Each structure stands twice: as structure tokens, then as C-alpha cells.
């Protein structure tokens, strides 16, 4: 069993299900100690922790925290430091994805997206720095391949705006004196359409089938197909990967 993350402490936001859960399991399979974050689904988080305990050499702890607030983000950071004394890897996976074209965008919708998808991840990264090894720390953000795709519905306006911001934050932090220049790598994963609860929410089956058809293999990505790239970015082998947005999308965009 690979152990490149042995005893590394990782926080994965939004990790009780879907991509986040797959990342937590992939980390633990390599020996990491993982904070499994959930908002409401304690049962799902406990299932992830149980799987890790029974199947890996890693460790896991479920922590409830609302990723739409700075206080929630700090709760996760504090839990990791209290439990294991440090933070080696911070994966900022949690997000919200609403639907509204410009005509229907409200200030409330805009604020919800930018708080959850940009503000909280940015300030979590800022607060995590004091607990990260320099060099050796890892910040991993999440974007979307919709930032590059030609075929997308304009009602994802607020969502793609936040993810465009994340990609630019990644570039800036990679050169920041306290981050990239100090040996903490900063990278972003940008999946394409992936078969998750967030992706399926509000979509009729016809739309889901259409998006699957845009991939060369005519299928949606699966969470377990995203997690290995995140595990690589968290590993020592990725020390020369910095400031990059990596589109893990099966050819959805090329």
C-alpha cells in the first residue's frame, strides 16, 4: 500500500459524500489523518470515517461545520490542530451551485456564492498557513471545467464567476511570499461534469444525458476518477506543481 501521505494531516471540506468523500478515502489509503467535514449528513460522514478505519492505515475524524461561514471554516482548522497538532494539506472542495441568468441574479444569490465558494476558502487558506510546514504544505482549491467550456448554460453565471476568481487566487498565491515562495504549493482541480449530488440537483435526466454525451467516452466522470489527482497534488511528488489549474474532465474540454 502506498504511504506517501503517512501521518500527514489533511482537511477536506465537504467530504461526507461525492468527490470530497473519495478524496478523504484516497488520502487515508496513503496513510493520512483526515478531517471529514459535513454540514448536516452526520451519517454519511460517519460512513466515510468507518470505511477509513476499517480499510486503511490512516485515521479520520468527522467534524460538523458550515462552509458558508468563516466561523465554520475556523472550526475545521481548530479541530485538526487540536486532534493532530498541525495541518499539512487543505482541500477546499465544498461549494454551492445555484442557477440564475443575469436577469434573475439577486444580491442574496451572489453573496451566497461568493461567500461559500471564494471568501471562506481564501480565509481558511490564510488561517491554515500558521499551522503548515514551510516548505511542504499543500493548498488545493476547486474550480470547474465550465470556466473553459464553450457549451454551458448561462444560468451558471454566479457559479463560474466564483470559480474564475478561485483560478486567479491560485495564480496569485503561488507567487505570494508567505505561500508559494515559502514552499507551500497552491493548485486547483477543475473537474468536468461529475456524477455527484450537487451536479444532479435540479437537472432533468435529458440534460444529464446531454452533458454525458459531450465526453469522448459518453459518460459522466465519477468521484473516484477525480480523487487520485488530488492525492497526487497533496504528495511530495507534486512539489514542483504550483499555481496550476488542472482540468480533470475526461476530455470534456481540451
159 catalytic per annotation? yes
Give first-to-last CA distance, the chain, whole Å. 33
Catalytic residue among 33, 38, 110, 159: 159
What would the pLDDT profile of 114-149 be if each residue is shown by its tens digit? 999 999 999 999 999 999 999 999 999 999 999 999
Which residues lie below 8 Å from residue 215, measured CB to CB, with a gap of 6+? 192, 193, 221, 249, 250, 251, 252
Structure confidence at residue 2 (pLDDT): 55
Asked if residue 1 has pLDDT above 60, the reply is no
Q: Is the distance from CB of 170 to CB of 243 less than 8 angstroms?
A: yes
For the chain, where are the alpha helices, taking DSSP H only? 18-29, 42-55, 70-84, 107-114, 120-128, 157-174, 197-200, 205-213, 223-234
Phi-psi region of 243 (alpha: psi -120 to 50; beta: other; left: phi over 0): left
Q: Angle between the 42-55 and 18-29 helix axes, to the nearest 10 degrees? A: 20
What would the pLDDT profile of 142-165 be if each residue is shown by its tens digit? 999 999 999 888 999 999 999 999
Fold of the 9-246 domain: Rossmann fold (3.40.50)
What would the pLDDT profile of 52-78 be if each residue is shown by its tens digit? 999 999 999 999 999 999 999 999 999
User: Would you tell me how many other CB atoms lie within 10 Å of the CB of residue 133?
Assistant: 14
pLDDT grade for 3, boundaries at 50, 70 and 90: low
Q: Angle between the 70-84 and 120-128 helix axes, to the nearest 10 degrees? A: 30
User: Would you tell me how many other CB atoms lie within 10 Å of the CB of residue 196?
Assistant: 20
Domain extents in the chain: 9-246
Amino acid at each position: 500500500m502506498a504511504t506517501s501521505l503517512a501521518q500527514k494531516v489533511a482537511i477536506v471540506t465537504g467530504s461526507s459524500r461525492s468527490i470530497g468523500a473519495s478524496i478523504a478515502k484516497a488520502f487515508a489509503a496513503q496513510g493520512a489523518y483526515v478531517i471529514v467535514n459535513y454540514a448536516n449528513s452526520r451519517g454519511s460522514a460517519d460512513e466515510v470515517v468507518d470505511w477509513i478505519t476499517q480499510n486503511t492505515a490512516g485515521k479520520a475524524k468527522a467534524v460538523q461545520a458550515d462552509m458558508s461561514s468563516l466561523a465554520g471554516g475556523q472550526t475545521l482548522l481548530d479541530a485538526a490542530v487540536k486532534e493532530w497538532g498541525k495541518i499539512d494539506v487543505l482541500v477546499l472542495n465544498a461549494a454551492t451551485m445555484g442557477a440564475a441568468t443575469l436577469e434573475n441574479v439577486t444580491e442574496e444569490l451572489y453573496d451566497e456564492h461568493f461567500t461559500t465558494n471564494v471568501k471562506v476558502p481564501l480565509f481558511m487558506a490564510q488561517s491554515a498557513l500558521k499551522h503548515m510546514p514551510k516548505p511542504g504544505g499543500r493548498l488545493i482549491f476547486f474550480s470547474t471545467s465550465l470556466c473553459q467550456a464553450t457549451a454551458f448554460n448561462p444560468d451558471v453565471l454566479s457559479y463560474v464567476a466564483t470559480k474564475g476568481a478561485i483560478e486567479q487566487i491560485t495564480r496569485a498565491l503561488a507567487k505570494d511570499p508567505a505561500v508559494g515562495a515559502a514552499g507551500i504549493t497552491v493548485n486547483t482541480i477543475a473537474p468536468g461534469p461529475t456524477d455527484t449530488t450537487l451536479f444532479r440537483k435540479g437537472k432533468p435526466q435529458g440534460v444529464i444525458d446531454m452533458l454525458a454525451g459531450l465526453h469522448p467516452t459518453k459518460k459522466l466522470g465519477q468521484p473516484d476518477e477525480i480523487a487520485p489527482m488530488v492525492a497526487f497534488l497533496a504528495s511530495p511528488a507534486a512539489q514542483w506543481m504550483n499555481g496550476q489549474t488542472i482540468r480533470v474532465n475526461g476530455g470534456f474540454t481540451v
